[in-house]
Amino acid sequence: MLAGLLGVGRNDIEVHPHVPTGAHFVIAATGRTFVVEYRKSTSAALTAAAAKIARERARRFRRRAVPLVAVPFMGDVGRKACEEAGVGWLDLSGNARIVAPGIRVIIQGRPNRFRSAGRPPNLFAPKSSRLVRRLLIHPDKPITQREIARATGLNEGFVSRLVSRLERDAYIA
């Protein structure tokens, strides 16, 4: 995707997972280094954290690196967080804002290709909050999802989806 945004062929870029700096990816293209932090979730808090991390990791390179945040779809709050942090961004829906010396890519207005159907689940709705309350009351006690389901009277599948959402939104690790 970055190759297309920069107007170069796929063979003209090199992509490396970059363990020494901790960056998700380091991409070399057009004589520049791009340090990319990827997030599966587009929540504002996670996007802002990713922007800060990308900026810090880009500073670890000798030559000037361009920090980028990549997400499935960048919302308005995430865009603002990246702009305030001085970090470029791109999303898998085809939108991007990458501004660096000699580069200016701004593509906006493409729709979210990853929108989920129905209402977004509310982790703190009465039914869902049973799980959250259980975790808060017993924060140091290891417990399986099956045990949570039994203790709260929730379906195991529902508990699994809630736990996945709590992990994705960084409420639990």
Letter string b/e over residues 53-71, b meaning 16 or more CB atoms within 10 A of that residue's CB: bbbbbbeebeeebbbbbbb
Query: Considering the domain boundaries, does residue 97 fall inside one?
Result: yes
Query: Considering the domain boundaries, does residue 136 fall inside one?
Result: yes
Query: Considering the domain boundaries, does residue 64 fall inside one?
Result: yes
User: pLDDT at residue 144 above 90?
Assistant: yes
Looking at the structure of the chain, the number of domains it has is 2
Query: Considering the domain boundaries, does residue 101 fall inside one?
Result: yes
User: pLDDT at residue 70 above 70?
Assistant: yes
Strand 88-91 versus strand 96-100 pairing type: antiparallel
Let me know whether 36 and 99 are in one domain: yes
Let me know whether 78 and 148 are in one domain: no
> Chain-wide mean pLDDT for the chain?
87
Residue 139 sits in which domain range? Answer: 126-168
Q: What is the pLDDT of residues 73-88, one digit of tens each?
A: 998 989 999 999 999 9
Whole-structure pTM over 0.85, yes or no? Answer: no
Let me know whether 130 and 103 are in one domain: no
Query: Considering the domain boundaries, does residue 117 fall inside one?
Result: no
- How would residue 120 be classed by pLDDT, with cut points 50, 70 and 90? low
Q: Which helix (H) or strand (E) holds 6?
A: helix 2-6
Let me know whether 138 and 102 are in one domain: no
Let me know whether 13 and 89 are in one domain: yes
- Calpha distance 162→165 (Å, rounded): 5
Mean predicted confidence (pLDDT) in 107-133: 81
Let me know whether 64 and 149 are in one domain: no
pLDDT at 34: 92
Let me know whether 103 and 131 are in one domain: no
